[in-house]
A and B are shown apart, each in its own frame.
Chain A
Amino acid sequence: MNYETIIGLEVHAELLTASKLWCGCSTAFGNEPNTQVCPICLGLPGTLPVLNEKAVEYAVKAGLALGCRIAEWSRFDRKQYFYPDLPKAYQISQYDLPLCREGRVVITVDGLSREVGILRVHLEEEAGKLVHSGESLHGSEYSLVDYNRGGIPLIEIVTAPDLRSPEEARIFLERLRTVLRYIGVSDCKMEEGSLRCDANVNLRIKDEEGEYRTPIVEIKNLNSFRAVERALTYEVRRQVDEFMEKGRPPAGTDLSRTKVTAGWNEALGRTYVQRQKELADDYRYFPDPDLPPVVLSSEQVEKWRAELPELPEEKESRFRREYGLPAYDAAVLTASRAVADLFEETARLTGDAKMVSNWVMGEVFRLLKGAGDDLEQALRHCSITPAALAELLLFVKNERINANSGKEVLEEMYRTGKAATQIIAEKGLEQISGRDQLAGLVAEVIAAHPGVVEDIKNGKKAAIGFLVGQVMKATKGKANPKLVNELITQSLS
């Protein structure tokens, strides 16, 4: 049996506008429930939506960064369903005329470039948030609703079914996050729900009987990159097993229109069926009569395009060109705009791009990874700025401290937020690089170990390391090891 995995993603990203999509309420995260609400976002009788133009700008910029065509004329539609977190019982969304269509994103999988189609990017409003006394709405004694989130602008990004493995899906999602963060339209925090993903997956199986497609399963609300990859991996396996066990359905069964909605249980590591749909849900979409169409001039769109920052792809090739970085390093350093900025600015301040890239990808990443898998968030929340890092690296570069001390200082900087100079002074880490200061010590060590000196003179050059070690020990590691080595060699020759 031979099969191909077919995955398409629907991604929701909250936009970073200061106010909500239809009213002036704040979009800030984490405040007391129902403190960021007004008659409009509560959907009180008689209220009307007024479009936040910043949200249109952000959605269009997202579309442009994803290579989409921008519609000159688009409109808002009502998507209707009843749910306690939806105050109007319809979500204002875009149906057949979205703002952006037909884009593409290039990802690198196993060193190879793959293109993933973007079917559409549209603008819509966020719903409120339910807090249940029990496990879920069903079966809880009571549920509470917080409408602070209701009405925050969202973009929905729908990919073509171009992804061929769970790993590709995760890589695509990471790339998407990188792009949206680069252009500053979304902070894409999966843990806070500002980036969410639904994944559609099925298999195209080829065997001696011909080709067969398994029913599409839509896994809802995946809220971490790991969950996306794990859930898809599980689901692919499950679909393979099911086919192996049951084979094809009886002739005449049409499963092509069947779609199963599934959830993902992170703790158990498995998907579970939520409901089976015979046909698409009937949301009774129709144009919202409260909102005029969105008409965008090409001048406006071009102005927004011109405002876009350098995108990751461009930055990556520039880093290779300008700093002579290997492809891998350039890709890693540009995967986050904050990291790229840290690298580039620190390189400018120290004049040593190679050194900076080694330190950033090595020590800095090691520290940041301790704070979770979101490097960019960790970096933004720590005290390692280009200026601070450059200060430290200049100590190392100028051999005023050795590399090991440098690592120690960086860790201290990361932990306490103190400056490198202060830490080095407090700990007395500055290297002893004066020949005069070290000459006496070297002479003492040589005098104290005649046996070793004999060995060296007899050609056992490696024993020099022992003598260097003794000098280092005597200086509590502050001696410049290169200089010590040089001095020992000199006096023994």
Chain B
Amino acid sequence: MKLCEMTAYELSAALAERRVSAVEVVKAVFERIDAWEEELRCYITLDREGALAAAREVDAERAKGAKGTKGAKEANSRPLAGIPVAVKDNLSTRGLPTTCGSRHLQHYIPPYDATVIEKIRAAGMIVIGKTNMDEFAMGSSTETSGFYPTRNPWDTARIPGGSSGGSAAAVAAGEAVLALGSDTGGSIRQPAAFCGVVGLKPTYGLVSRYGLGAYGSSFDQVGPLARDVRDTAMLLQVLAGYDPLDSTSIHREVPDYLAALGGDVRGLVVGLPQEYFSPGIDSGVRAAVLAAVKVLEEGGAIIKEVSLPHTEYALAAFYLIAPSECSSNLARFDGIRYGYRAAGAPDTVTMFCRSRAESFGPEVKRRIMLGTYALSSGYYDAYYLKAQRVRTLVKQDFDKAFAECQVLVTPTTPTTAFRLGEKINDPLAMYMTDICTIPVNMAALPAISVPCGLVGGLPVGLQLIAPVLQEELLLRTAYYYEQAAAPLSHCPKPEPKPEPKPSSEVSK
């Protein structure tokens, strides 16, 4: 197996035992990038030199540690040191362009690191580059990216999902081992499902938002994407925790997520919300999800039908609140201090208008207009406020459901990955692809998407939803399922081309 196709857990062991160096791992990832990136376009910015320098540093430290006494200790305290990670381009990276997928920020280089970037750097992880995304995370296919769409590694005629499509595709394709995404209405879970990887949206407030380019501030969460549940747990361990720079972050001890993985599902009460198995769900997807439910049932879980009656209003309410917040969050992109500034405007107002009009894409403009309208005087009560009331009802639905069961199981998406161009001119159809994930953000809950097989050669995602701060339960259940079902028999690979050198084979 190629180094770039191994999991972080496996690589961590190989690195700790010094069977492989961080430089070799990073080189392997860049070999895959050289072979496939031209077609997939997972990244907006690659940082080959920075990554190799960081890898050399990790190797040097490990060599020093091995000579001294703290070698083993070091490997334990920084298990992900030397592991390549792809970072969604809406996370602020000092010295590395951070475009948020927008032409407006094409040349913006931040002077500071997001809290999660500080954390992954402190963990010794190697940032490979910044991944492609829908512009300002507004989209479900990466097609609204201001630069180019990303292709799904399972079928390059199809989209990888979005908005964290570049991150999901990079992990699936071996162009990264792990990735960071952000999830406002499904932006981690939906591309994870479409690309056959695991994606976790943490409880709102578990992971710091400091340095995450804001879209819908009351929904946004940063989270991990990985090839399996164990890797997801390891990355979440690095990301989670209170941050004094984020007033909405939760003050609480971070549990040991890796330790939570053992155990079975005997007696676990699993709820199937009937609204998520409606006729709108593709029959192949439904069958795959129900087969996964069967695996849990066979493991001793108790399956129970539950109802989340306000589900049908969640999407509409989300598309009032999130645009309202984004209309405000994106107002700062006025061309004054940084970002795109239109030339030759005769006055300031014209400069604001043109700078924004010329650099934002149609989907971003649509949402800014929606939100501006919803917050306008005379409409605020009817739209923004009413949507907030719906949000409360959606939350109450989940509270009631969790009185009857411990974890909810649904499809992550109604269909498998669709074709490039299939929905880009039909915003409503595009919004519908997040119908299973959005209610979770409305209720600030944690949820994970794990692959549950292929339909027509394309991955299907199984979504598990838990009460607030029950990430351990989510990971344990997902891990049990993954181990019991081994849902994906292979990973996607580039068309065989003349391979550069077989130097990145694992020496065992």
Q: Do the two chains bind?
A: yes
Residues of A within 8 A of B214 (CB): 45-46, 290
> How many B residues touch A, CB cutoff 8 Å?
44
The CA of A415 and the CA of B48, in the complex, are separated in Å by 68
Q: Tell which of A83-91, A234-242, A423-431 binds the partner.
A: A83-91
Any chain B CB within 8 A of the CB of A51? yes
Any chain B CB within 8 A of the CB of A291? yes
Chain A 37-67, CB-CB to B under 8 Å as 1, else 0, gives 0010011111111110000000000000000
Q: Contact check: which of A51, A82, A84 meets B331 at CB < 8 Å?
A: A82
Q: Contact check: which of A84, A137, A280, A289 meets B217 at CB < 8 Å?
A: A289
B217 contacts A45, CB within 8 Å?
A: no
What's the nearest-Cβ distance from chain A to residue B327, in Å?
Answer: 8
The CA of A135 and the CA of B214, in the complex, are separated in Å by 36
Q: Contact check: which of A43, A284, A285, A290 meets B332 at CB < 8 Å?
A: A43
A39 contacts B212, CB within 8 Å?
A: no
With A39-B112, A84-B348 known as contacts, the answer to whether A45 contacts B380 (CB < 8 A) is: no
Residues of A within 8 A of B90 (CB): 45-46
With A46-B211, A82-B334 known as contacts, the answer to whether A286 contacts B100 (CB < 8 A) is: no
The CA of A138 and the CA of B327, in the complex, are separated in Å by 26
A290 contacts B248, CB within 8 Å?
A: yes
A44 contacts B248, CB within 8 Å?
A: no
With A88-B331, A90-B331 known as contacts, the answer to whether A289 contacts B218 (CB < 8 A) is: yes
B328 contacts A78, CB within 8 Å?
A: yes
In the complex, the chain A residue whose C-beta lies closest to that of B114 is: A46
With A44-B92, A46-B212 known as contacts, the answer to whether A145 contacts B248 (CB < 8 A) is: no
Q: How large is the interface on A (under 10, 10 to 19, 20 to 34, 35 or more residues)?
A: 20 to 34
Residues of B within 8 A of A47 (CB): 112, 210-211
Q: Tell which of B190-198, B369-377, B400-408, B486-494 binds the partner.
A: B369-377
Residues of A within 8 A of B352 (CB): 82
Residues of B within 8 A of A138 (CB): 347-348
Q: Tell which of B103-111, B434-442, B460-468, B477-485 binds the partner.
A: B103-111
B244 contacts A289, CB within 8 Å?
A: no
Any chain B CB within 8 A of the CB of A309? no
What's the nearest-Cβ distance from chain A to residue B382, in Å?
Answer: 14
The CA of A145 and the CA of B328, in the complex, are separated in Å by 22
In the complex, the chain B residue whose C-beta lies closest to that of A49 is: B247
The CA of A78 and the CA of B210, in the complex, are separated in Å by 19
Q: Contact check: which of B218, B246, B328, B337 meets A80 at CB < 8 Å?
A: B328
Chain A 284-309, CB-CB to B under 8 Å as 1, else 0, gives 11100111100000000000000000
A286 contacts B380, CB within 8 Å?
A: yes
Any chain B CB within 8 A of the CB of A282? yes
The CA of A84 and the CA of B337, in the complex, are separated in Å by 9
Any chain A CB within 8 A of the CB of B412? no
A45 contacts B105, CB within 8 Å?
A: yes
What's the nearest-Cβ distance from chain B to residue A225, in Å?
Answer: 32
The CA of A303 and the CA of B197, in the complex, are separated in Å by 55
B375 contacts A45, CB within 8 Å?
A: no
Residues of B within 8 A of A137 (CB): 348
What's the nearest-Cβ distance from chain B to residue A118, in Å?
Answer: 25
Any chain A CB within 8 A of the CB of B53? no
The listed residue with most B CB atoms (<10 A of its CB), out of A44, A84, A88, A138, is A44
Chain B 132-156, CB-CB to A under 8 Å as 1, else 0, gives 0000000000000000000000000
What's the nearest-Cβ distance from chain A to residue B262, in Å?
Answer: 36
What's the nearest-Cβ distance from chain B to residue A227, in Å?
Answer: 27
What's the nearest-Cβ distance from chain B to residue A485, in Å?
Answer: 76
The CA of A49 and the CA of B244, in the complex, are separated in Å by 10
Chain A 68-102, CB-CB to B under 8 Å as 1, else 0, gives 00000000001010101001111000000000000
B91 contacts A145, CB within 8 Å?
A: no
Main secondary structure of the interface of A (DSSP, over half): loop
Any chain A CB within 8 A of the CB of B62? no
A45 contacts B328, CB within 8 Å?
A: no
Q: Contact check: which of A39, A280, A284, A289 meets B372 at CB < 8 Å?
A: A284
The listed residue with most A CB atoms (<10 A of its CB), out of B98, B112, B244, B332, is B332
B194-223 at interface with A (beta carbon < 8 Å): 209-214, 217-218
The CA of A285 and the CA of B90, in the complex, are separated in Å by 26
The CA of A45 and the CA of B214, in the complex, are separated in Å by 7
A82 contacts B349, CB within 8 Å?
A: yes
A286 contacts B331, CB within 8 Å?
A: no
In the complex, the chain A residue whose C-beta lies closest to that of B349 is: A82
Q: Contact check: which of B108, B212, B245, B324 meets A286 at CB < 8 Å?
A: B324
In the complex, the chain B residue whose C-beta lies closest to that of A284 is: B375
The CA of A88 and the CA of B217, in the complex, are separated in Å by 14
A44 contacts B380, CB within 8 Å?
A: no
Residues of A within 8 A of B245 (CB): 48, 50
Residues of A within 8 A of B347 (CB): 138
The listed residue with most A CB atoms (<10 A of its CB), out of B212, B324, B334, is B334
The CA of A466 and the CA of B363, in the complex, are separated in Å by 98
With A89-B332, A286-B324, A286-B384 known as contacts, the answer to whether A46 contacts B92 (CB < 8 A) is: yes
Q: Contact check: which of A48, A284, A285 meets B209 at CB < 8 Å?
A: A48
The listed residue with most B CB atoms (<10 A of its CB), out of A49, A89, A282, is A89
Chain B 358-388, CB-CB to A under 8 Å as 1, else 0, gives 0000000000000010011100100010000
Any chain A CB within 8 A of the CB of B228? no
The CA of A112 and the CA of B347, in the complex, are separated in Å by 52
Interface CB pairs A-B, < 8 A, 20: A45-B92, A46-B92, A46-B209, A46-B211, A48-B246, A50-B244, A51-B247, A78-B328, A82-B352, A84-B348, A87-B332, A89-B334, A280-B377, A282-B376, A284-B327, A284-B328, A286-B375, A289-B325, A290-B248, A292-B247
Listed in ascending order, the chain B residues whose CB lies under 8 Å from chain A are 90-92, 98, 100, 105, 108, 110-112, 114, 209-214, 217-218, 244-248, 324-325, 327-328, 331-332, 334, 336-338, 347-349, 352, 372, 375-377, 380, 384
Known: A43-B332, A87-B337, A290-B248. 11 other contacts (CB 8 A): A45-B105, A45-B214, A46-B91, A46-B110, A84-B348, A88-B331, A89-B331, A145-B337, A280-B377, A289-B248, A290-B247
The 9 closest A-B pairs by CB, nearest first: A89-B331, A289-B218, A289-B217, A284-B375, A46-B211, A45-B213, A46-B92, A39-B112, A88-B332
